[in-house]
Amino acid sequence: MSTQRSGGQRTYADAIEALNTLQSNAATIEAIRKSGGRLNDFAIPEMVEYLGRIGYTQEDLNRLNVIHITGTKGKGSTSAFTSSLLQHASPGAKIGLYTSPHMIAVRERIRINGSPLDEADFADKFWHVWDALEQNTARAHEFTPLRPIYFRFLTLLAFHTFLAHKVDTAILEVGIGGMYDSTNIVPRPVVCGITALGMDHVAMLGNTIELIAAQKAGIYKHGSAALAVRQLLGRESAEKVLEDRAKEVGASSFHFVRTPAGEDPISSVKLGLPGIHQYSNASLALALAQTFVRSPVGKQVFAGAEESLGPLILEGGDEAAAVQQITPLAKQALEAAHWPGRCQRIPSQTSAITYFLDGAHTTDSLALCARWFLSSSSSSAAEQGKKRRRVFIFNCTNGRSGPDLLGSVLSEIEAGSSTSTSDSSSSSSPSSRFATAARFFTDVAFCTNTTFRSGRSAGDLTSKAVDPADLEALTIQNQLKDAWLSLVGSGDDEAAKVHVLPSIEDALLLVKEGNGAEETQVLVSGSLHLVGGVMAHLREEGLLDDELRSVYA
């Protein structure tokens, strides 16, 4: 693709247009899936080669003082908590943060001190990397593209940005897996952490928890500290894989982070990210930050931070003593953390609509999402005699199991609402495993991630990952509808009305149609891309600020 732009301009919009040409289409993604991971053999060597072509060596990346984070669930939240902790520990330090995906704007993926790059800085750094790859074309293999695919390019861009800004530390969130991820070319990260594991991306990572654990543990490095939370799924076998890998590569230390219990001081903190599951992520983040500031480089940049962040929360070794308190600074940092689109409540001032957004996309995380929604949406509407309307907007990416994902939501709602939603069932419920859950929502909408009714998506939200034919036929959405109906049954006039819709805009119009409800609660989940598209609309309506925080919360 030519680097020239009409009128000689090379704006942020031009950069996004160029970046989108690097997206893998649905056919390419399917080829990778069917390869059983064979294409991974070239992932790391190619990334190292690309890095060299933009003027850097792997040794240069060690100057970033990296904190590397992976896991199935909570790695983005853990990254956000870690960034907040280090910002509070040393306000004068420069903290880089690289995460994925973005909610509305691509530049959200690359942050410094919690704030996304502005458009001018993003465009400047983007075109530097774009041009360098075009000017330095030497490649070891003829099948290596001139430029890497979307996520790998953004990883290169993050490396260049952080080195150019001379950050004091860079927090890197893995995209998928760990061992073959494009972020995994840093020779000596300071500390690596692994969040909760689950069954996700099995076509690429393996179909057992042990295989997935091995992929995640691929980020552990010789001479680097290694941490992991205690695991729930396949605890003994998964934890053994993690610990064995740390020993095998010669990690400087390996510890499990203690799971917060009811009496643990961190459990009393009102985290900036809602949800009971976030306490595990916050504990890992605190341990990562504590480990980092105790490292030789951490002591140089974050002098005095050891005391301000408190004692280590680890299991094993001499540092396993119970934490007696959480420091005021650590408490403040965890309360101030913000991560858009994760258990986020967005009320409206001008209408009686409240949106509940969570990008959960695994069975475990969707169960937690449903539990959070039940807890957060339990207002006094029923007691006040208000007519309440609940809408569930859902989508999932191709390859995920609709019945399993939706079944997870329904199971949690059935268990949590059967004794507390008398307003949802005015007559006897039919015999069904999800009799109460079937009536919990007024409407269920399965829509695509397309932003607008016109069939267009905002530039930053453009995706080529779905087959255009499937998108036009609403194949996935109809499969989800069938899955929902197979779970809740049919013949109940009071069950939720099910809709298949071609865009996010259509789904939000459905929400606003009303039906005389005095209060409307909208749960949006199943895909971070879906949540991001909804947030784009809500920001246009003035319900979100530029940092994607709720204006009226």
Annotated binding-site members: 100, 173, 201, 342, 358
136's CB contacts (< 8 A; 6+ apart) are 53, 54
The angle formed by the CA atoms of residues 63, 67 and 71, to the nearest 5 degrees, is 145
Q: How many residues does the chain have?
A: 553
Strands 95-98 and 519-525: unpaired
- Within 140-240, strands assigned E span 169-173, 191-194, 225-229
Q: CA of 549: how far to CAs of 34, 280, 336, 347, 411, in Å? A: 40, 23, 12, 11, 30
**What pairing do the DSSP bridges indicate for beta strands 225-229 and 191-194?**
parallel
Which residue reads 């246009």 in tokens? 540
Q: Which residues are annotated as a binding site for Mg(2+)?
A: 100, 173, 201
Contact 367, 411 (CB under 8 A): yes
Angle at 203 between CA 108 and CA 401, to 5 degrees: 80
What is the DSSP secondary structure assignment for residue 258, as one 8-state letter? P
Amino acid letter at 277? H
Q: Is the dihedral of CA 248, 249, 252, 256 positive or negative?
A: negative
Q: Locate tokens 């650590």: which residue?
A: 330
Reduce the DSSP state of residue 113 to 3 states and report it: coil
Residue (of 265, 225, 507) closest to 391 by Cα position: 507
Rounded Cα distance, 170 and 52, in Å: 19
Task: Answer for the pair 244, 213: CB distance below 8 angstroms, yes or no.
Answer: no
Structure tokens at 109: 């993926």
Residues tagged in the binding site annotation for ATP: 342, 358
Of 166, 153, 228, 157, nearest to 197 (Cα)?
228
Do 64 and 162 meet the contact criterion of CB atoms below 8 Å apart?
Answer: yes
| Cα 176 from Cα 199, distance rounded (Å) | 12
Q: 322, exposed or middle or buried, with CB in 10 Å at 0-12, 13-18, 19+?
A: exposed
> Phi/psi at 409 (nearest 5 deg)?
-65, -50
CB count in 10 Å sphere of residue 406 = 26
Distances (CA, A) of 228 to 192, 208, 399, 441, 553: 8, 18, 28, 38, 34
